[in-house]
Structure 1
Amino acid sequence: MPFPTLTTDRLILRQTSQADAASIFSIFSDPAVVEFYDIEALQDGSQAEEILDRHQKLFESKRGIRWGIALRDSGTLVGTAGYFGKIEAYSSAVLGYDLSRTQWGKGIMVEALRAILTYGFAQYGLNRIQATTDLDSLRSVATLKRLGFQEEGTLRQSGFWKGKFHDVRCFSLLRSEWTTIRSL
């Protein structure tokens, strides 16, 4: 299967490549972007190349797909989003996303995720999409709720990053719910 390119009014969601290393480094070297991630802020370009390599391997293994989020007018890569942990037998996957701080508050991530959710339910064979957030990641919680995700509860010490365990909030969205939301 070729890598699917998705477009929205302001965005092109495309496959990332090693040519995106400088943009990935810029995004992931910002401590605010990785505050709730299982990585520290990047310190050198080789770490960005490793992230891009993981994106490629994720797609090749059919365990997920991660799009680069590029601004349509400039082609600038400003984030990534997609699925990992895909379980074919359960038609489920986990959603993950990140965005350059310069783009926060502009509706970019909601726009990107709408396209990714539509693809996930219509072409990627998903019935359930799950997302988890740190308890304090209020921007992420707001994004998920805006898209119709339902909070299922707190998973106690389910996350481990930056040397300690964290409680996370679990959210999910079902295909039947997305179909209803999209028709409103």
Structure 2
Amino acid sequence: MKLEEHFEPFPELATKRATLRPIEYSDLNDIASYCTVPEVSRYTVWDVHKSIEDTKAFIDFVINRYATQKVGPWGIELKESGRIIGSCSFVSWDNNNRRAELGYVLSNQYWNQGIMTEVIRRIIEFGFKDLELIRIEARCLPSNLGSSKVMEKTGMKYEGILRRHIWAKNEFQDLAMYSIIRDDFESGFRDSPDI
């Protein structure tokens, strides 16, 4: 079964503190509250949103993906407040080799609280149990120590530097590659108390 078929309908997931659900137009102000912060977009491939129109264009793009049965991001809704505080998605995948890559962003107001680690662990579990993936990977700029820490805490292993791998922010940049494979997951990851 192709990964895309598992997103019809779009799956909602839950962790102890968050609900992972489709993004809606009603989330506009929540998403703008962090996408307009330069510190948040510092390590992303997208530029800081300069206006509410930039954020609306992002939501238009996401909702179009849902409507055309393409994989789109989960909005990370904090259970305590009901607000969207970030997003996470499979940004690419290879059905033949049962491999997918994760991407994510979180409001700087919630950094260093373990929320993204909790979310990524849940999505990794979904990837191996429901999507039957063999490998899940994620990449970040080598200077993005916060993202590296999330990957390590979710059981991913550092594999090395992909030199001049991506054109972003007007330059070619290196990326640090991390991955977790099914063997890692089956050796004890699934019983994490964070999920």
Q: Give the TM-score category using the shorter length.
A: over 0.9
Give the equivalent residue in structure 2 for 1:182: 190
Distance between the aligned counterparts of 2:162 and 2:66, measured in 1?
A: 27
1:43 matched to 2:44: no
Instruction: Give how far 1:89 is off.
Output: 1.0
Most deviating of 155-164 and 62-71: 62-71
Instruction: Give how far 1:133 is off.
Output: 0.6
1:97 matched to 2:104: yes
In the superposition, the TM-score normalised over structure 1's length comes to 0.93
Q: Alpha carbon RMSD of aligned pairs, Å?
A: 1.6
In the superposition, the TM-score normalised over structure 2's length comes to 0.88
Instruction: Give how far 1:124 is off.
Output: 2.2
1:16 aligned residue (3, 10, 23):
23
1:136 matched to 2:143: yes
Distance between the aligned counterparts of 2:32 and 2:53, measured in 1?
A: 9
Question: Could you report, residue by residue, the CA deviation over 1:35-62 in whole angstroms, capped at 9, with x for unpaired residues?
Answer: 0112221011121122223333444555
1:110 aligned residue (117, 132, 135):
117
Q: Quote the sequence identity (%).
A: 29
* Unpaired stretches in structure 2, ≥5 consecutive residues: 1-7
Instruction: Give how far 1:161 is off.
Output: 1.1
Give the equivalent residue in structure 1 for 2:61: 54
Give the equivalent residue in structure 1 for 2:3: none
Give the equivalent residue in structure 1 for 2:5: none
Quick one: structure 1 residues 116 and 65, their matched pair in 2 at CA, closer, same or farther if it must change by over 3 Å?
farther
> Runs of 4 or more off by more than 6 Å in structure 1?
none
Distance between the aligned counterparts of 1:65 and 1:117, measured in 2?
A: 16
Distance between the aligned counterparts of 1:21 and 1:159, measured in 2?
A: 29
